[in-house]
A and B are shown apart, each in its own frame.
Chain A
Amino acid sequence: MSLLELTLRNVKRNFRLYSIYLFSMVAGVIVQYTFSSLMYNEDVLDALQNRDNFKAGSMIASVTVFLFIVFFILYANSFFMRQRKKEFGMYLLYGLTEKQVVRMIFWETLVICAVSLAAGVLLGGLFSKLFGMLLMSLMQYDQPVSLTFPVEAIASTAGLLLLLAIVISAQSWFIVNRLQLTELFHAKSKAEKPVRVSAFWAILAVLMIGVAFALIYSGKGSIVWQEYATPSLIVSSVGIVAGTYLFFRQFAGWLLRTIGRRKNYHEGNTVLWTSSLRFQIRGNTLNLSFITLFGAAIMMLMCFMTINYKVQFEAVGRNIPNDIAFQSLDSGTNRQVDDLIRSSEHGVRYHLTHEALMAEPVTNMDAAFDNPEYFTPEVLLLPEAAYNELVGIRGDDRKVELSGDEAVSLSQGSDFPETFAAGENRSFAVKLGAGEEKKFSLTEKKDYAYLGWSTSPVESMIKKPAVLVVSDEAYSSLQGVANKKKFEIYGVKDAKNAEALSEQAHAIVARTPGAYYSSFADVYSRQIEGSSLMLFSSGFLALVATFALASVIYFKQLREATDEKLQYAILRKMGVDNRQIKSVIRKQLLFVFLPPLALGIAYSWSIIKSYILESVSDFPELPGITWGIIGVYFLVYLLLYLSSANLYYKIVSRQS
């Protein structure tokens, strides 16, 4: 029999094993091809405002996806090879050389790669159209995406497969060379004893996880995070990682031992479903810790990116509240910009010219503005009337009423806006003009902007003006001694798509160096594209990661079920029926599956809740979205559990 015939026979005889392997290869190719063909899709590229950004972003994402697939396929292969160790041993025993066996594996791999390339590219093409449309709708463009097969994408996918074929052959070469023929003659037996457990370590595991949760739940405003941020971070990460590990090694073992010591332990099938778990703890620990932390990471990533995307639409408006605003320059320049805006397709909704006084802070900026490094060092004093006028036009419910020395600071972006009760007002002193000092008493620190971040079409969010709203009387009394700055504030129609207009306007304003300029459109398109791409890529990554997770779980179950086959055959001989065997398998797998799910969800929810949702508490729909994402993970996991249990049952019931 030639090697080729032998290879073909292998595939026929081991079809089930091959089909699982082939499936993971095809899945990997689909993911890789979908992503890379999106990167080269002309329709997608045409729609984008910032192609370079997109290319850079999707490049990073595709490298990550690529690495994941390599990891995933190697894992699948090592499982596949281990299952066939005996077969390879037989070949060696009957006189094939190691080289011949490796060559045979190489041919097999090549065939499998070719099949996966063909199937993966066809399916991946369809998927990329689908995902392309999804991306466009995330970015809010109506661009149809056609079904194309870019040569670059096929080439990069083929390159990946070639690389994989080489790595797989190398991996096989190692396995075949390490193969000891004597292994063939030893029946597999579980020589190892269960892991030694102690109540001390079990309690420590729970304690560590408990401390981590307590820290996380205390929230970022609490004293531990405000005063001892670094130690808290270390303690909670160590608590989560080490606690999870100990949980699966010691707590799970301790729990099983405790169950085993119960008086009625021998009644029913508890003995059966707990007994093999005792032996699996050693091998399960790393796997389950990995699944827990990885699952939590996937959920957090998705939640974070989705929240980021959702918030982005509003956040741009909060950061850059004015469609176009710039510092008044000479009347010629102002006129030029005005004409430009009026003659554009956007047209003016409103136009205000406001005046503010320039001052230098005497009190530390921290008193009125959080993160003062984001603000200009000088402070603008704005009269209450001007502020209220703009707020009124915007339709926001943020008007103020001030008298005397009262003032309100506009500390947009603050996590902790404050209102100071009468008598507890914070004082804030500034120096004006020639050096006259004026003390204001702050009644409120608002998370709100009058003038947003200064922007330019190429560089967004440079700095934002520090604005102090003061009472009209204070303003008029200081008018004589201070220098003034005027601002032109425009509202235009369809501001989201006013990039072109902004570019022209900016060019005019920028002729005066250092002049303030801020436009909503500059940031909006970039932010939305950026966060759509981030959401999209992380969704993709989550998909691949879920695949990897699923394969880890699946292959583990496959292997365990294969190992346990004999045990279940014995049970059948003893007259245990299918219903009872199913119940044993379900209970055993539930003990393995449930804790990683529960812990993973608890970790990700508490972190997202305490650190992200708290900061965006004015978006009431976000907790729902977060639970939605967690719910999807739950469903996927449930599906994995059910299909694993089913697969397990099928394997142990198959006659050998």
Chain B
Amino acid sequence: MQTVILTKNLSKNYGTTPVLKSIDLEVRAGELTAIMGPSGSGKSTLMNVLSTIDRLSGGEVWLEGKSLLDMKKQAARQFRQERMGFIFQDYNLLDTLTAKENILLPLSLRRFKAEEMERRLAPIAQALNIAGILTKYPSELSGGQKQRVASARAIITNPAIVFADEPTGALDSRSATQLLEQLVGLNETFGTTILMVTHDGYAASYCKRVIFLRDGGIVNELYAGEQTQRAFYDRILDAQSLMGGKTR
């Protein structure tokens, strides 16, 4: 399998405060990975650095084999626009666009042809069960619906990787379960690589692999393997209590 993200000895400081310390990480295409850790463990910073939103302070990062250090700002932006998708905790949908317009926006901005956009939209809308709400505005949608629209927007460009920052953070447990099931579905149906940051063990238990972060370093890593989601969830909780981190 192809490597999407590779980091060697990655570090990041804010002033003199180290936030990330010598991180070695490899994410392969088609993986569904969670990064877990308590608040302040550096998981959001890691995601920002990996997604080119923030600059790294030391070490190296390769995205699809291209070194981040060699990338200029404009090239990084283009890479982000073309090869990455984002799902945020607060959805970040544009209020003035309908669900469909929101989803197609990344393609619109890259001047795709109308037919191609429609062609891509149909199966994704089907998979995320949002075909019926495409003409609605975000203010008319529930939190779960909004997050599904945001997910559709994230994958419509066929990105190499989707970064999901606490995607279930603002959802009630039912909508959260629904969304997680659909993200797993996207991963299985379209082979989408997803890197999810969460502090919620339940959300993490849907992933195939969970990386634990603490004080800026990787302290543990779990693989789901063949076990059930339920069993994997218990193992995650155990690992969390071993680390001394609080489960919530």
Contacts and interface: CB of A to CB of B under 8 A. Distances in A.
A271 B139 contact: no
Contact of B92 (A193, A263, A276, A570): A570
Contact of A577 (B74, B95, B96, B105): B74
Contacts of B109: 268-269, 272, 574, 576, 580
A190 interface: yes
Contact of A574 (B96, B106, B137): B106
Contacts of A189: 95, 139
Interface string B105-120: 1111101111001000
A270 to B, nearest CB: 8
Contacts of A270: 108
A274 B81 CA distance: 22
B101 interface: yes
Contact of B113 (A265, A267, A275, A580): A267
Contacts of A567: 94-96
A264 interface: yes
B139 A267 contact: no
B178 to A, nearest CB: 23
A569 to B, nearest CB: 8
B108 A269 contact: yes
B233 interface: no
Contacts of A271: 97, 101, 104-105, 108
A275 B114 contact: no
B108 A267 contact: yes
A577 B88 CA distance: 20
Interface residues of B, number: 29
Interface residues of A, number: 27
Contacts of A573: 53, 86, 88, 92
Contacts of B97: 271, 275
A547 interface: no
B94 A570 contact: yes
Given A266-B108, A580-B109, A575 B137 contact: no
Interface in A234-291: 263-272, 275-276, 278-279
B77 interface: yes
B235 interface: no
Interface in A552-577: 567, 570-571, 573-577
Contacts of A570: 92-94
A267 B105 CA distance: 9
Nearest to B106: A574
Nearest to B78: A575
A278 B111 CA distance: 22
A266 B107 contact: yes
Interface string A146-164: 0000000000000000000
Interface of A: 189-191, 193, 263-272, 275-276, 278-279, 567, 570-571, 573-577, 580
Interface of B: 53, 74, 77-78, 80-81, 84, 86, 88, 92-97, 101, 104-109, 111-114, 117, 137, 139
- Top 7 A-B residue pairs of the complex, sorted by shortest distance between their CB atoms: A575-B81, A275-B96, A276-B96, A570-B92, A575-B80, A190-B95, A275-B97
15 contacts: A189-B95, A263-B114, A264-B114, A266-B112, A267-B112, A267-B113, A268-B109, A272-B105, A276-B96, A279-B95, A279-B96, A567-B94, A570-B92, A575-B81, A576-B109
